[in-house]
């Protein structure tokens, strides 16, 4: 109980920090960020993409229980759906402070332009949020019926507990089957926001959507794994070792696909030897080499660790591997922006002078003492304000998950009274499945 109070408190504190700083940003404008005209998307969009990425695991885990008969994972479907729902909320919360005119957000409903991948993303993410919510809802319904609490449960009043359990099992299955394509879609479409842009060589590749899916399967499953391992704790770890190992293997397998796609992508950028392509590679391996190393090395470590017998079956290595993977995935999201915005699409070739890639300067959008207005590249690093606002989704996810864990039973164990609250009746969700 103590630990969960701490997490809840931390979540609320982070959320409050994010909200207050956002208020400051609203008062001053996006000038308080370090984004400028040449580098117009930064930490916010990267964090958004990060949360979209980890949101996948939920439905992927619950769907694979039904689709591929991965019975071992069944005890974790509740927590998987919860993590998916929370991450989707986090992604949505992150996108709002990025908007220059968040007060006009209703225009997305009033005047949607269906040619824009951003509109597709709004649609699929909204659907996914709804589906993950329903997934959580149907899985908790029998508990709520029995304990006489929870919300939206009036319609179950005239049903018996057994009937509600049957409905819960049936609908959980249905939701997760409908949810799977949406889980795939949110990554495909989020990747398409970038991949459709022929102006940006680093993004403009058909490899991006499948790679986003691979990354999502890896990081989403790692999130479910991390939460489950932490929630189950050291004492009962052995009981679920099989399931944890299964998840670790899913993570490792998805990372193999990811690394394969990355390798092919890099090869294609390099092979033709276009000045723009080479410049991107020099940004990736030179100027941003350190971030890129983090993106490559940490997930590679996780992959090897999760494939190994020891790494996939020890409490500590599972936690370490998942955490390192998150850092790697975050670096990947940042690396979407760094090389892309620093290779200006309008670069001029002057063959007679031996100049192949002269970036045409862009006005920053700010006049500041001692700073040039026109620049040929922009060394973006987030400001403190950006970091503080980016805490908002992290706080939201922690708050939602810890509140849910505290109020309802998400854990795969009978009679876990400490987390279940007053009710003494135990319930295992294994009985509710069809």
Q: Under the rule (CB under 8 A), what is the footprint of another protein? A: 28-31, 33, 35-38, 40-41, 98-102, 104-105, 107-108, 110-113, 115-119, 122, 193, 196-200, 340-341, 344-346, 348, 350, 352-355, 358, 360-368, 373-374
**Of 90, 190, 161, residue with least CA distance to 132:** 90
- The CB-of-271 to another protein minimum distance in angstroms stands at 18
Q: Nearer to another protein by C-beta: 30 or 298?
A: 30
Q: Are 100 and 30 in contact (CB under 8 A)?
A: yes
Instruction: Give the torsion sign (CA, 421, 423, 424, 428).
Output: negative
**Assigned token pair, 39:** 């580098």
- The CB-of-424 to another protein minimum distance in angstroms stands at 51
Q: Nearer to another protein by C-beta: 108 or 327?
A: 108
- The CB-of-105 to another protein minimum distance in angstroms stands at 6
Distance, in Å, from the CA atom of 136 to the CA atom of 2, rounded to the nearest integer, reads 25
Q: Nearer to another protein by C-beta: 121 or 211?
A: 121
Q: Nearer to another protein by C-beta: 354 or 424?
A: 354
- Phi/psi of residue 407, nearest 5 degrees: -85, -40
Host H or E run for residue 363: strand 362-363
- How does strand 355-359 pair with strand 347-350? antiparallel
- Phi/psi of residue 306, nearest 5 degrees: -75, -20
Residue whose structure tokens are 């949505």: 92
DSSP per-residue string spanning 189-235: HHHHHHHT-TT-TTT--TTHHHHHHHHHHHHHHHHHHHHHHHHHTTT
- The CB-of-158 to another protein minimum distance in angstroms stands at 45
Q: Are 218 and 258 in contact (CB under 8 A)?
A: yes
Q: Nearer to another protein by C-beta: 150 or 361?
A: 361
Q: Nearer to another protein by C-beta: 29 or 424?
A: 29
- The CB-of-99 to another protein minimum distance in angstroms stands at 5
Residue whose structure tokens are 């003492």: 369
Host H or E run for residue 300: helix 289-307
Q: Are 21 and 33 in contact (CB under 8 A)?
A: no
- The CB-of-147 to another protein minimum distance in angstroms stands at 43
Q: Nearer to another protein by C-beta: 355 or 425?
A: 355
Scanning 70-156, the segments in alpha helix (DSSP H) are: 77-98, 107-110, 117-147
Q: Nearer to another protein by C-beta: 185 or 337?
A: 337
Q: Nearer to another protein by C-beta: 30 or 89?
A: 30
- The CB-of-42 to another protein minimum distance in angstroms stands at 10
Distance, in Å, from the CA atom of 180 to the CA atom of 184, rounded to the nearest integer, reads 6
Q: Quick one: CA torsion of 54, 236, 395, 335, rounded to 10 degrees?
A: -30
Q: Are 179 and 128 in contact (CB under 8 A)?
A: yes
- The CB-of-393 to another protein minimum distance in angstroms stands at 17
Q: Are 203 and 194 in contact (CB under 8 A)?
A: yes
- The CB-of-197 to another protein minimum distance in angstroms stands at 5
């Amino acid at each position: 109980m103590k630990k969960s109070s701490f997490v809840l408190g931390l979540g609320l504190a982070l959320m409050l920090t994010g909200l207050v700083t956002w208020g400051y940003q609203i008062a001053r404008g996006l000038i308080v960020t370090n984004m400028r005209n040449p580098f117009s998307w930064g930490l916010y969009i990267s964090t958004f993409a990060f949360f979209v990425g980890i949101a996948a695991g939920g439905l992927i885990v619950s769907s694979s229980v039904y689709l591929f008969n991965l019975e071992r994972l069944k005890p974790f479907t509740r927590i998987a759906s919860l993590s998916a729902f929370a991450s989707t909320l986090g992604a949505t919360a992150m996108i709002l402070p990025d908007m220059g005119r968040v007060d006009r957000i209703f225009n997305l409903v009033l005047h949607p332009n269906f040619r824009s991948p951003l509109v597709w993303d709004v649609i699929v993410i909204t659907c996914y949020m709804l589906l993950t919510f329903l997934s959580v809802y149907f899985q908790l319904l029998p508990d709520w019926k029995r304990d006489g609490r929870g919300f939206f449960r009036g319609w179950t009043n005239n049903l018996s507990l057994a009937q509600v359990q049957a409905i819960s099992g049936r609908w959980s299955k249905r939701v997760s089957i409908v949810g799977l394509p949406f889980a795939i879609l949110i990554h495909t479409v989020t990747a398409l926001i970038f991949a459709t842009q022929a102006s940006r060589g680093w993004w403009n590749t058909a490899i991006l959507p499948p790679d986003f899916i691979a990354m999502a399967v890896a990081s989403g499953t790692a999130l479910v794994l991390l939460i489950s391992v932490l929630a189950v704790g050291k004492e009962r770890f052995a009981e679920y070792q099989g399931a944890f190992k299964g998840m670790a293997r899913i993570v490792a397998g998805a990372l193999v696909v990811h690394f394969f796609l990355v390798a092919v992508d890099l090869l294609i950028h390099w092979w033709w030897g276009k000045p723009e392509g080479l410049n991107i590679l020099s940004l990736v391996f030179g100027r941003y080499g350190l971030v890129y190393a983090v993106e490559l090395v940490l997930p590679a470590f996780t992959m090897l660790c999760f494939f190994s017998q020891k790494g996939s079956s020890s409490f500590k290595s599972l936690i370490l591997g998942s955490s390192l993977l998150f850092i790697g995935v975050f670096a990947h999201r940042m690396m979407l922006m760094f090389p892309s915005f620093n290779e200006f699409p309008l670069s001029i070739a002057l063959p007679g002078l031996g100049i192949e890639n002269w970036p045409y300067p862009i006005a920053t959008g700010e006049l500041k003492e001692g700073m040039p207005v026109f620049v040929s590249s922009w060394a973006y690093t987030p400001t403190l304000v950006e970091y503080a606002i980016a805490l908002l989704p992290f706080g939201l996810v922690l708050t939602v998950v810890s509140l849910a864990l505290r109020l309802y039973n998400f854990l795969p164990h009978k009679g876990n009274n400490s987390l279940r609250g007053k009710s003494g009746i135990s319930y295992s969700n294994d009985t509710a499945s069809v």
